[in-house]
Structure 1
Amino acid sequence: MTSTLKPRDANDVQVIVRDAVAGAQTLEIIGQGSKRTVGRPAQWDLTLDLSTLSGVTMYEPAELVLSAQAATPIAEIERLVAESHQELAFEPMDLGPVLGLPAGAGTIGGVIAANLSGPRRIKAGAARDHFLGFTAVSGRAETFKSGGRVVKNVTGYDLSKLMAGSWGTLAVMTDVTVKVLPRAETEATIVVLGLDDVAAVRLLNIAMGSAGEVSAAAFVPAGVADRLSIAVAAGRSVTALRLEGVPPSIAHRRAIVETLLGAMAALVLTEQESRDFWRGIRDALPFAAQPGTQRALWRISVPPMSGPDLAHRIRAAAPKSEFLFDWAGGLVWAEIDAAAAGASIVHRAVAAVGGHATLIRAPASVRAAVDVFDPQNAGVALLSKRIKENFDPKGVLGPGRMYAGV
């Protein structure tokens, strides 16, 4: 059984990494463990559990900036900033439900390390775009800092962008700084029922290019939509556009969007219905893990208008597949009941339309046998290996989690 080490502070983290380097031991890095089953199921000697490194260390609402220890729960941060009518604008998703774990266990460090962004990404940007700076311990057992407390703080290499999406394989982040933004006073969601995926994604992209200032755009096929908290679905597909702001602005922009709809009948969700619906889209709740489920779940990014094409290609080879389209079609959640998680099916479809795919949920035996993260060409693979060697020359931090041998 793997031993678990719980550091009391950042200095302890440095000591643990130093000892691991000296003893040629490898470390699994976790915060609250909510994303532990994402990635290749590599074998590590020790688990570095950062859960005690929790708490907001600095919050200045007037400056729109917050710093917190890496294992601070996202839920705690969201409650704190909400008191000042602010939010994490990249709308971080909670992977817990789709992995069969309780909701609300995600941490700020985990969200940044996985670069997880929700529906508002199409307007506000990705998690890495809100990541200002951090303190971390490299695989060399060296503590280093990057970035700062303002947006324009970059001189030399922007290491924050490199850490976002590295899944803890380059350095152990102990403290992170992010920007926060004012929270919209209210919101409303315009819904069109019964469209097919091609017509729906076309409408979503037209709306995104309009003066309606849409902050989220999603399409949920019939059947899948019934598993969301939207009573009006009733066996029909749902095409949804969210508007956020003050009531007069929303009313004006709603008129703009409804003009684009033409003769299409539209419904408008109440504020609470809208919040519940987009929480379901953010966390891919229609695909929440059920006891004993063997269905694989993929998170696929593609050019927005290519979303339906991707889904058609996957469904042609795996007819029981189900989908959810976020980011106006640019983010496709695909649940597949196929051998080896349908990896070859997904990768062929992605290669045909362009984009990249990550296997979020599958049995360990499958994750050990297929590419969990998007396959890299020779040039990118070499670059990834060199970056890993510079930050972690002894391969101490999560080796093999993203790619074999790295």
Structure 2
Amino acid sequence: MSMLNSEDAVAQAVADAKGPLTIRGGGTRAVGRPVTGQVLDVSGLSGVTLYEPGALTIVAQAGTPVAEIEATLAAENQRLAFEPYDLTGMLGTKGATTIGGVIATNASGPRRIMAGAARDFALGVRFVDGAGHVIKNGGRVMKNVTGYDLVKLMSGSWGTLGVLTEVSLKVLPAVEATETLVIDGLTPAGAVAAMAQALGSPFEVSGAAWTDGAVWLRIEGFGSSVAYRADALTALLGKHGDVTRVSDADWTTIRDATPLHGMDSVWRASVKPSDAPALVAALPDGCATLLDWGGGLVWIGQSGGDTTATHGTIQSTVATLGGHATLIKASNAVRASVPVFQPEQPGVAALSTALRARFDPRGILNPGLMAA
């Protein structure tokens, strides 16, 4: 199917579809079970349709590259506060990450611990359901909460409930200064303890991660405030080790889990921060890990070994801990044979099935992508 460049064209294409459709925007997030179906390319729905800096609101078509949105915001000293992660380096994909893909997958980076997730900044959406109907939900200003639940529902649905055509987002001012405190030589347990102390302090940490044995703690804001908080945190955290201050730390390393790029298989697991050390300890030898969100997000990488067995270990361990894990990168054969997303509890699974039947009665939108 050729690239579509209007919402009406998307609606018509879905209505006319005779079989499964593979929804594709930038083509950068090949996650989930492989879907066999005609490609519905919505990357032509591109462009910012409304931007009101004074209202901290931007509206863009779903196929708009995130880089274009970020450049538009930067010109007004504003930003996407939820810091969406980019999987192109990890998955080796060549397309441009789009805002529709970000919202459909709820792609949220290190700042989530302070600012919130991508779905928390989605004010409204327009999408085409599985019957070809155009649905509008939410609004374009922060005080409009009409249809709030449906906006949240689309975020994280991975294109299985509808094809996003437009999103309205709340944005925030850019920061004046940033400083990162680094503490080397910590185990996962030591790292979680240090991050918990920092996050529990009154010093407004906007990033807390552990990579290559070092904790990274980010402080953002006005210059004088950042300097004061950095001094206070340095003194507070001294018992965990020597604290080094870095003004130019590259947080995309954490956001995109750069140390795991090039590994054969990668997982993304969410657990209570205090449970992160137990998850790391349960992994097979040879796995590499990176902690974000104070330990609440565990990136896991493996090269060689039995990917299917490791996947089972990760999902069973995470289930015991009350969390969930997603296989982000693996061969097509593995992705086709395992539950890529954490299997849902029976009640939740029944609700998910009912929702898909309501929004996609023919079962044609990315069918099976999130199957257990």
Output the TM-score relative to the length of structure 1: 0.89
* Shift, 1:156, TM fit: 5.2
Contact 1:146 1:158 in 2 (8 A): no
Which residue of structure 2 lines up, in the alignment, with residue 296 of structure 1?
265
> What is the SS of the residue equivalent to 1:158?
helix
Amino acid at match of 1:249: S
Which residue of structure 1 lines up, in the alignment, with residue 306 of structure 2?
339
Give the counterpart of 2:42 among 41, 44, 50.
50
Q: Does 1:262 align with 2:238?
A: yes
Q: Does 1:7 align with 2:4?
A: yes
> What is the SS of the residue equivalent to 2:358?
helix
Q: Distance in 1 between matches of 2:300 and 2:350?
A: 30
Contact 1:39 1:402 in 2 (8 A): yes
Contact 1:211 1:256 in 2 (8 A): no
- The 5 A counterparts of 1:4-153 are 4-20=1-17, 23=18, 25-35=19-29, 37-44=30-37, 46-102=38-94, 105-153=96-144
Give the counterpart of 1:252 among 205, 228, 231.
228
Gaps of 5+ in 2: none
Q: Distance in 2 between matches of 1:157 and 1:201?
A: 34
Which residue of structure 2 lines up, in the alignment, with residue 231 of structure 1?
none
> What is the SS of the residue equivalent to 1:32?
coil
* Shift, 1:157, TM fit: 5.8
* Shift, 1:139, TM fit: 0.5
Q: Distance in 1 between matches of 2:107 and 2:266?
A: 15
Contact 2:84 2:107 in 1 (8 A): yes
Give the counterpart of 2:192 among 201, 205, 213.
201
Q: Distance in 1 between matches of 2:61 and 2:190?
A: 45
Gaps of 5+ in 1: 222-236
Q: Distance in 1 between matches of 2:151 and 2:164?
A: 10
Which residue of structure 2 lines up, in the alignment, with residue 385 of structure 1?
353
Give the counterpart of 1:325 among 282, 288, 291.
291
Q: Distance in 2 between matches of 1:150 and 1:56?
A: 16
Give the counterpart of 1:279 among 226, 247, 252.
252
* Shift, 1:5, TM fit: 3.1
Q: Distance in 2 between matches of 1:366 and 1:379?
A: 27
> What is the SS of the residue equivalent to 2:201?
coil
Q: Distance in 2 between matches of 1:53 and 1:322?
A: 38
Q: Distance in 1 between matches of 2:93 and 2:21?
A: 23
Going from structure 1 to structure 2, the CA distance change for 1:86 and 1:265 (only over 3 Å counts) comes to same
Contact 1:216 1:241 in 2 (8 A): yes
Q: Distance in 1 between matches of 2:99 and 2:24?
A: 12
Post-superposition Cα deviations, 1:325-373, rounded to whole Å, max 9, x if no partner, equal 0000000000124324411110121023221000000000000111100
Which residue of structure 2 lines up, in the alignment, with residue 226 of structure 1?
none
Post-superposition Cα deviations, 1:84-134, rounded to whole Å, max 9, x if no partner, equal 1110000000011110124x7210000000001000000000000001101
Q: Distance in 2 between matches of 1:8 and 1:207?
A: 47
Contact 1:146 1:159 in 2 (8 A): yes
> What is the SS of the residue equivalent to 2:205?
coil
* Shift, 1:11, TM fit: 0.6
Contact 2:206 2:217 in 1 (8 A): yes
Amino acid at match of 1:282: R
Amino acid at match of 1:367: R
Amino acid at match of 1:86: Q
* Shift, 1:262, TM fit: 2.8
Contact 1:57 1:69 in 2 (8 A): yes
Q: Distance in 2 between matches of 1:63 and 1:244?
A: 22
Q: Distance in 2 between matches of 1:391 and 1:9?
A: 21
**Aligned Cα RMSD in Å?**
1.3
Which residue of structure 2 lines up, in the alignment, with residue 228 of structure 1?
none
* Shift, 1:149, TM fit: 1.1
Q: Distance in 1 between matches of 2:3 and 2:114?
A: 38
Give the counterpart of 2:319 among 351, 354, 359.
351
Q: Distance in 2 between matches of 1:156 and 1:14?
A: 21
Going from structure 1 to structure 2, the CA distance change for 1:83 and 1:370 (only over 3 Å counts) comes to same
**Percent of aligned pairs with the same residue?**
48
